[in-house]
Structure 1
Amino acid sequence: MRCFKLDEENYCLGLGFVDQVPTGAELSATATTPDVGATGDTGVEQDIATGDQSPAAFVAERAAMPKDQRVAAELEELQTAWDGRDKARALRLLGVGEPTRTTPPPPGPPTPLKPALPSSSYIMKGYQTSQEKGYWCGPATFQSIDWADDKQQDTQASWAKDLGSTSSGTAISAMVKQTNLKTKWDIAAGTYIVQNVGHWDTKKFFTVHQNHLADAAPAPVIEHVQLLKRYFPYLAFNHSGHYQVGRGYDTKNGTIGIFEVFNERRFNSRGNVTNGPKNIPASALFNATLANSFKNIGL
């Protein structure tokens, strides 16, 4: 999990683009943090590992590769990051140096204003899916994203193969890579990148979703959360790191629309029926993202 300078932006393998480069100690702590869902939440132990790849599993997988394969994987990840560095810069600068109401306008002709974004926007209606295996949240999320793109519903098994999914989960870098390779969403939204949100706040998190989901060519967000009851009250149990489809927002209610791909009842007879469209308070979804050791999203 090393960090590199790409033009003006900082990118860390596994973590994505970062606003602040983590220290060696912080990277080490991230790489060794166990993926558990019970911490501080009513004493209920983690029930199902739903399928993201923990930092420890990511590091172990890379370390187990022969050197030439590991270098190739790292270069491929960095190439995707290089292609998306302009987007990363725009995200880093979003909200920085915004004028206050008392700031006089600059001299010269006024800058044309961008059209106001709608108060709410939702995409991908009807393209929700449900993961077929406990560790297939990555393939299920990608199945939904690709199905809405080309109207062809390829199998989760085929996407698990393309994503390199194992019982240890799916890497977010693989989710981003396949979105760029196998869909046209990157044409709509620019090259998809892995973006760390560890130094964002709820306002910026919500604004980025607005811009991505209601621009001239809206496109989904790959949500990367820790699936805990405190953030997703429709759950009966806590679960592990997880992927969901970000597919809308409502400004009035301060919510982000997702497709939940995990049906708790399918894997535990005492669980709730949980899959399908949901509207989650932006603060809850942001905090669920921060609760995941990676603290990142794909967009």
Structure 2
Amino acid sequence: MPRPRTIAIGAFAVLLAATPFIPRGGGDEGALRPSGKQQYAALPGEATGYGPLTADLRAEVDRVVAQGRTLGRITGKTTTDALVRGLVRCADFQGQTYCLHSGWTESSPATVQARMAVAARTIAARPAGGSTTGDLDVLATLDRAAALSPSARAVAERQELTQAARSVAKVWLLRHEIEGVPLPAGFLAQHPEARADAPVAAKGASSSPSPSKSPSPTASPSPSKPQPKTQKDYPARRVILDTKQTAEQTRTYWCGPTSMQMITWGWKGVDKGQAYWADQLNTTSGGTAISDMVRVVNNSTGWDRKDHAGPYVVLDIGDWTFNQWMLLTMRHIVDYHAPLVLHPILLKKYYPYLDDDASGHFQVGRGYDKKGDKPTLISYFEPWNQQRFDPSEPYINRVQWRTAYKSYRANKAHFQHNIGV
């Protein structure tokens, strides 16, 4: 498929300027600081809220945006490698790395840029045509950003970085509770949005039970020393979302709008249709970016509330084991009661219902089944129905139950290996 940089640039610039990127939850800006006489705990499985844009976070946003301003207006003569170096810049938000157009990662900025450059060159060398379902590939992503004026690009980058900065506590807790990464000193004092609702008594304070009440023999452990959940702590099977609230994509490049249609339908109980969400997502014939998927979930649903998943983030799971990925899935479905934005590549070896290998893709994660001694299954809503576009190909059902390990491998096979959670 040809990818001229001029396709829909004017429309995209208008949409970008009109689209709110800053997430809701601004009430945390005025959160009180602890007095020093209280200790706080983040309970296992509990979501965070939006954090304030503190001075250090704002300074890092400013630094990365200022780097981009030195690029000036990008011309069509700019090489792919130069585009990657100039546009895929990374921020260090309190010890966690966020890269523009890629998301939160544990890789170094140089590694992320190298991966993006290889993927972009591969796509550029690929013959026109092929089966695409609507994931905005890296070359189209770079072209879209490069076509913006320097001021419009700075606005877009600031919005993306600000949303990421206000979500850093969630990233830290996911790394801590699933990967075992220690939290930095003073983390819970610095991040009120990550604390459990009730404060824990300071060290040395009396912990004796009230004279009128006896301690329960089944009481939970003190929240000051929460025990991270394991897969054994979750039920054997759990699903969310109504299987009647599904749809198949009506254009070959609308897997993003269709996934968003189902995600928002599940929250609002109202179907606004794919065209509406294509507009909200800035979808072009090249597809939809995962950063836009996360932005719209945060701005258009309540799945990002603290009593659900908290602010959705684009998270690199390239270094995660299958068990870690499965634990995150269970956490999302059971503790958050919220869907995942799956981001695989559609290959026949992972999805036997496909008639042909296809492109990067979006699906809506909505359940799992441990299946005892058999391989664990994952359930998702599949927007792609190849038969709609080629009647000779097999029909694909919207509600899928498939081997979870293959879904994990399909997500890692995508060059970005990230998801929206």
Contact 1:37 1:238 in 2 (8 A): no
Equivalent in the alignment of 1:8: 95
Q: Deviations over 1:182-202 (max 9, x none)?
A: 000001110000011111121
Q: Give the corresponding residue for 1:131.
A: 249
Q: In the alignment, does 2:326 pair up with 1:222?
A: no
Q: Cα distance 1:46–1:276, how it changes in 2: closer, same or farther (>3 A)?
A: farther
Q: How does 1:196-235 map to 2 (within 5 A)?
A: 196-215=316-335, 217-235=336-354
1:173 Cα offset (Å): 0.5
Tell me which residue corresponds to 2:123: 34
Which amino acid in the other structure matches residue 159 of structure 1? W
Which residue among 352, 364, 370 is the counterpart of 1:251? 370
Q: d(CA) in 2 for partners of 1:150 and 1:273? A: 28
Q: How far has the Cα of 1:89 moved from its partner?
A: 1.2
Please list, as runs of the form range in 1=range in 2, the aligned pairs for 1:56-135 lying within 5 A after superposition: 56-93=139-176, 94-96=178-180, 111=225, 116-126=233-243, 127-135=245-253
Contact 2:116 2:138 (8 Å CA) reproduced: no
Structure (1/2) with the larger strand percentage: 1
Structure 2 match to 1:260: 382
Q: Work out whether residues 226 and 240 of structure 1, in 8 Å CA contact, stay in contact via their aligned partners in 2.
A: yes
Letter in 2 for 1:20: S
C-alpha separation between the residues in 1 aligned to 2:236 and 2:173?
22
SS at match of 1:124: coil
CA shift, 1:48, in A, is 2.4
**CA deviation string 1:118-139 (max 9, x = no partner):** 1111000222211010000000
2:11 corresponds to: none
Contact 2:89 2:109 (8 Å CA) reproduced: no
Kept after mapping to 2: 8 A contact 1:15/1:295: no
Indicate conservation of the 8 Å contact 1:35/1:54, yes or no.
no
User: Which protein is bigger by CA-based radius of gyration?
Assistant: 2
Question: What is the distance in 2 between the residues matched to 1:90 and 1:239?
Answer: 34
* 1:203-227 deviation digits (Å, cap 9, x = unpaired): 1111100101111x41000011111
Q: CA deviation at 1:26?
A: 3.2
**Secondary structure, aligned partner of 2:344:** strand
TM-score (norm 1): 0.88
Name the SS of the counterpart of 1:185 in structure 2. Answer: coil
TM-score (norm 2): 0.63
Q: Which stretches of structure 1, 4 residues or more, deviate above 6 A after TM superposition?
A: 35-38
Aligned ranges 1:130-149 → 2 under 5 Å: 130-149=248-267
1:192 paired with 2:309, answer: no
2:280 equivalent to 1:162:
yes
How far apart are residue 278 of structure 1 and its match? 0.8
Asked which structure has the greater RCO (Cα within 8 Å, sep 6+), the reply is 1
Partner of 1:103: none
The CA deviation at 1:28 is 2.2
Q: CA deviation at 1:91?
A: 2.1
* Structure 1, gaps ≥5 residues long: 39-44, 99-107
Q: Secondary structure at the match of 1:71?
A: helix
Identity of aligned residues (%): 35
Q: CA shift at 1:16, angstroms?
A: 0.7
Deviation larger for 78-87 or 225-234: 78-87
Q: 2:181 and 2:382 mapped to 1: Cα distance?
A: 36
Report the alpha carbon displacement of residue 113 of structure 1 after superposing the two structures with TM.
5.2
**Which of 269, 273, 293 is the aligned partner of 1:175?**
293
State the Cα distance separating 1:56 from its structure 2 match.
1.1
